[in-house]
Structure 1
Amino acid sequence: MSKKEDSGGKKCSHHTELYAEVPASCLPIVYSPEYNITFMGLEKLHPFDAGKWGKVIRFLKEEQFITDEIIVLAREASEADLLVVHTARYLNRLKNAILEGSREWSLVVATITEIPPLLFLPNFLVQRKVLRPLRTQTGGTIMAGKLAIDRGWAINVGGGFHHCSSDKGGGFCAYADITLAIKFLFERVEGVASATIIDLDAHQGNGHERDFLEDRRVYIMDVYNRHIYPGDGYAKRAIKRKVELDWGTEDSEYLQKVDLHSEGALNEARPDIIIYNAGTDILDGDPLGGLAISPQGIIKRDEIIFRAARRRGIPILMVTSGGYQKKTARIIADSILNLHRQGLIGEEALDVAGPSHVSLMMSKSVSSGATLAAI
């Protein structure tokens, strides 16, 4: 399909349902029950808590911060949406099975999700029970990018698949949602021409780094355990502010570095939006992260990033990324509640910020004119 200009002068290649108007009564918190991966207990074979997203929402409801009526319901990213970043060859590899006799073997998906038994399930079940939830979370990140511009902040309770690039997945990441959210904004929203990724998951975010290696519009700060997966030296060339941590790094050192380097990053490049990858696999005892940050340290870390964005009037999109302990859902919920208590998110957050870049963006934001996308 040839590219056509939208009403704001941006080049858009396809119609999307992901940039629908959202009622003002909704908070920019994006979620769908479809995020959660549950099928015959197979999700328990990976250390990732594949139901943590629903638990976060349940905790927020119990604290009476949200109700179903004010959550923005995530939509599944369509193939046309995914093709904004992904190659057709990669998407076909996810879609197609390897035929051997009468069986279809889902080798690629089993490898990416690190759940070997998926190899032995019928391919149509793998598509429905594993890839569809990941596509819905990806759609949620793209939606939250637009909401962040409109409202000054947004949280996708899922997403953060930072090991996936345009043509390769890995580490439980099948779709490049961070890259997609940024590319959608660049293509569709007037006035968005630069982005800063602050990646604080315990692992290096090699997926978005590979995607933006030659793109000067995107500034990447990455803080990670230097000794663990993926160790992608090629992708590291894209990192503008690299902070490599050692095993067992604790709160004091960690928070000092996060504060120092986030301030430095945002002083070096004044972006139109911040994408904050807020992985909780930095938590002490995480089987994959190898760091030793307390729950209170994670809550403080998130506050540091949101406060830095708020001081500068920069819209911020948060995604939840990795976290491999059952208690991480509670910590994510507690952190969101703390951000609200601090006046950094919620209906009053824009008033706290005062006149800012956000008010300019709200007047320039471009809508596709699709139907409402909220519960």
Structure 2
Amino acid sequence: MQAYTSDHFVLPLPEGHRFPMAKYRLLREAVEAGLPGVVLAPAPAASDGELALAHEPAYVSAVAEGWLSDAQQREIGFPWSVAMAERSRRSVGATIAAARSALSDGVAANLAGGTHHAYAHKGSGFCVFNDVAVAARLMQAEWHRSHRRLLRVLVIDLDVHQGNGTASIFADDPSVFTFSMHGARNFPFRKEASDLDVELPDGCTDAPYLEALDQALDRIWQIHAADPPGLAFYLAGADPHEGDRLGRLKITAQGLAERDRRVFSALRERGIPVAVSMAGGYGNDINATVAVQANTLALAAQSAAQWPDLRVSSRARA
């Protein structure tokens, strides 16, 4: 399985900043040490034109050239720097590359990404650009150019925080179905309307969490029975974990592994390629967050290994 990394681009954050920048390096090192089936490659940088597929050009320029106001920087949660702008481009570029790889191989991943709080006109909540929104729009354009038909996209957002930016960007776009399952009382406190939102109470444990996921996925497959999506983006947040300092849920590592198995299995059975992003993870113990995300990548690689037979059977059916 192909995966893309941008952890060499590190934000110069002030001492005591709560964003766990080190987790991206630690995750890459865990993949290098324990997942030989995952092939790592450096993330390319998204261009201004690619970013403008989902973002207002004035906002793209403000990030690129350092025009963000103090208020805009506070809402994002990062001070502007050249490194901040470059890392944000690379995070989007990694999801673009993962989406292209997924369309050819079945499954691919970005070891960062999942920046779902970024709107078309602004960033928010540690999210500068919305990597999934940009990649979805670009894959649709490339697919139409090469296949002369529409690529329908499904976003499965299982970060503990609602994907408000993604929901806003695709609010009037029936070609992209947005699904978010998240903490009802968690950030963002003013939520946007996804195509399907599932809100969970504080302290939610494994059994009701997985039951809610199963019900949501069943509904999605019913909605798309006649016209299934051709590409999925899966935001596999580690922040529903019981040890997460921002999550407020009580999902075990085993519960999150089962979540991932069910998502990958459902997509694989339907022949829907998936680009995986790591999204959030703010563990009291950063190593616990890394372990959850490394296991997500291990399960993604296992699913990817089963795709060749599916592609053969799909061609036979066609």
Q: State the TM-score, normalized to the length of structure 1.
A: 0.76
Name which of 176, 179, 195 aligns with 1:240. Answer: 195
Cα distance, 1:108 vs. partner?
A: 5.0
What is the DSSP-based 3-state SS (H/G/I as helix, E as strand, rest coil) of the residue aligned with 1:65? coil
- Give the conservation status (yes or no) of the 8 Å contact 1:192–1:273: no
For 1:217 and 1:334, locate their aligned partners in 2 and report how far apart those are by CA, in whole Å.
31
1:140 corresponds to 2:114: no
How do residues 185-196 of structure 1 correspond to structure 2 at under 5 angstroms?
185-189=139-143, 190=147, 191-196=149-154
| Aligned twin of 1:344 | 303
Structure 1 residues 230 and 357: CA distance shift in structure 2, 3 A: farther
Deviation string 1:218-237 (CA, Å, 9 cap, x unpaired) is 1111101111211334x21x
Structure 1 residues 266 and 52: CA distance shift in structure 2, 3 A: farther
Gaps of 5+ in 1: 1-26, 99-104, 119-125, 361-375
What is the DSSP-based 3-state SS (H/G/I as helix, E as strand, rest coil) of the residue aligned with 1:276? strand
- Give the conservation status (yes or no) of the 8 Å contact 2:27–2:290: yes
| Aligned twin of 2:291 | 330
| Aligned twin of 2:4 | 30
- Give the conservation status (yes or no) of the 8 Å contact 1:97–1:107: no
What is the DSSP-based 3-state SS (H/G/I as helix, E as strand, rest coil) of the residue aligned with 2:8? helix
Deviation string 1:324-361 (CA, Å, 9 cap, x unpaired) is 11121121112322344xx4123x4322565238998x
1:182 corresponds to 2:182: no
| Aligned twin of 2:117 | 163
| Aligned twin of 1:284 | 242
Letter in 1 for 2:40: I
Letter in 2 for 1:183: R
For 1:297 and 1:192, locate their aligned partners in 2 and report how far apart those are by CA, in whole Å.
35
Q: State the TM-score, normalized to the length of structure 2.
A: 0.89
What is the DSSP-based 3-state SS (H/G/I as helix, E as strand, rest coil) of the residue aligned with 1:172? coil
CA RMSD of aligned residues (A): 2.3
For 1:312 and 1:285, locate their aligned partners in 2 and report how far apart those are by CA, in whole Å.
33
Gaps of 5+ in 2: none
How do residues 196-345 of structure 1 correspond to structure 2 at under 5 angstroms?
196-233=154-191, 235-236=192-193, 239-269=194-224, 270-325=228-283, 326=286, 327-340=288-301, 343-345=302-304
For 1:179 and 1:339, locate their aligned partners in 2 and report how far apart those are by CA, in whole Å.
21
Equivalent residues, number: 308
For 2:204 and 2:107, locate their aligned partners in 1 and report how far apart those are by CA, in whole Å.
29
What is the DSSP-based 3-state SS (H/G/I as helix, E as strand, rest coil) of the residue aligned with 1:329? helix
What is the DSSP-based 3-state SS (H/G/I as helix, E as strand, rest coil) of the residue aligned with 1:230? coil
Name which of 38, 51, 58 aligns with 2:22. Answer: 51
Letter in 2 for 1:313: G
What is the DSSP-based 3-state SS (H/G/I as helix, E as strand, rest coil) of the residue aligned with 1:71? strand
Cα distance, 1:268 vs. partner?
A: 1.5
Q: Which has the higher contact order (CA 8 A, sep 6+)?
A: 1
For 2:129 and 2:92, locate their aligned partners in 1 and report how far apart those are by CA, in whole Å.
7
